[in-house]
Amino acid sequence: MPRKKAEDATERYERRQRESETAMFVLRLYVTGATPASTRAIANLKMLCEKHLKGRFDLEVIDIFQQPELAQGEQIIATPTLIKQLPSPLRRFIGDLEGLEGKLLGLDVKPVPEAPQS
């Protein structure tokens, strides 16, 4: 019987991998005004989304100074904070998102293969 569980887990993993290649990503980035960290986080995230999720992401940038109730509802205690709402599971990243490309697996994003150099 344990063998069956391993096969089921493998099948679920492979299905999630296939789904992540076409899934729509719903992202919320919480920032505090136009601080340098907020500006870097927005730029880093937009660059990553355009490179790896072109046409497959919905990004909402929320300034907690202007909409504090949204930050309270999500229990945001530090900014910038990125929340990946969909596809599940929910993930949170805190900071200016520098080096986020190296953490694509945490976002469940399959990296785009580099084009061969000629």
* Per-residue model confidence as pLDDT tens digits over 66-84: 999 988 888 898 999 999 9
Contact 84, 91 (CB under 8 A): yes
Assign 36 a pLDDT band (cuts: 50, 70, 90): very high
Most confident of 11-15, 42-46, 88-92: 42-46
Distance from CA of residue 67 to its chain's centroid? 21
Q: Given the structure tokens 């080096």, which residue do they identify?
A: 99
Q: What is the pLDDT of residue 110?
A: 66
Q: Is the dihedral of CA 44, 77, 70, 105 positive or negative?
A: positive
108, pLDDT greater than 80: no
Q: Sketch the domain layout of the chain as residue ranges.
A: 31-77
Q: What is the pLDDT of residue 80?
A: 93
Tokens read off for 23: 């899934």
Q: What pTM value is reported for the model?
A: 0.73
